[in-house]
Amino acid sequence: MQDKPLRGIRILEFAGIGPGPFCGMLLSDLGADVVRIDRPGVTPQGVGSVTGRGRRSVALDLKSAADVETALKLIESADALFEGFRPGVMERMGLGPDQVLARNPAVVYGRMTGWGQEGPLSQAAGHDLNYIAISGALGAMGRPGLPPAPPLNLVGDYGGGAMFLAMGLLAGLFRAKTTGEGQVIDAAMSDGSALLMAMFHDLKGMGLWQDQRGSNFLDGAAPFYDTYKCADGKYISIGSIEPQFYTVMLEKTGLSEDPEFAAQMNPGKWPDMKSKLAHVIKGKSRDEWCEIMEGTDVCFAPVLSLGEAPSHPHNIARGTFVEFDGQLHPAPAPRFRDTPNRPDRPAPKPGEHTDEVLGEWISPA
């Protein structure tokens, strides 16, 4: 059995909301010793047993000069740190990149914001929906004639934010281990969500994508790439893009002989084709369609709720969800061969490990 890949890496997380805790969870799932610096007696807003898992907690009052000095001493022993405050907040506390790198030139300093460290919006308040609005991502999501559909906060906070912050930290750690030089990472959700749209910029440049919501083959306009309501009010998803998969879908739905479906990539035919397909799908329950389509090359899956997902046979077989600390958790991802695929420790109470961590990380004077 191999150990987790980041075992032995020390990372400080300055407690925040949204993408910061998720990034801390990802890094701790990979084996890093992530220590969260909390305000005394204050649990970070919105951080529960899942996104809070895997860390230890040190309580420090960063308005206190003595506790700021303690934070700097912890940083001297850290490989990386990350924070999610507005630009300038860490500098005002005496914990900005220049102050930190003076104490530990090899440390990797991650900064997570919505708008970035610079630019006309950098000091403005915002949330996921705003960041993906200016990146072009939000405007591409939803049905034609209806307002753009908020995609939860997956595209900005977590995809465009936390994942890019984690990737930046890992790249910085690799460089620091090979050169001894630290790095400062400016991870902005507006930047990251723009980059997530790379393929759609490619398609637009090739003339294969209209800059109009709900009119393209991947945004719900096409009959072969959408969700459909079943007889029981539940939904299924169909993604039969390639011709060979489209052929199987037509066979399974009994539409192979309908001449209208011969022109798969004719957008002018899509509304009528979708209406016919929707009528067929509504004739059977979700479970009946699972019996017919699941496991075939239709490119099919039932649309499951949060409560249903852990019971799906594929998720059970792969251990996609695990029981941990008395609650069902999404398991760590990605997986590594011969490596445990479970969280290491439950979410901490603020300050729970203060003495323990200070004793380990800070050398006696």
Residues with catalytic function: 127, 157
CB-based burial label for 271 (10 Å; 0-12, 13-18, 19+): exposed
Residue 163, classed as helix, strand or coil, is helix
CA distance 126 to 156: 11
Rg of the chain in Å (alpha carbons): 24
Do residues 104 and 95 touch, judged by C-beta distance below 8 A?
A: no
User: What angle is formed at CA 30 by the lines to CA 109 and CA 327, rounded to 5 degrees?
Assistant: 115
Residue 61, classed as helix, strand or coil, is coil
Could you tell me how far CA 94 lies from the centroid of its own chain? Answer: 30
Do residues 131 and 151 touch, judged by C-beta distance below 8 A?
A: no
Eight-state DSSP code of residue 283: T
Do residues 240 and 218 touch, judged by C-beta distance below 8 A?
A: no
Helices (H), 113-226: 128-134, 163-179, 189-196, 198-205
Cα 234 to Cα 169, 231, 249, 310: the distances in Å are 41, 7, 19, 17
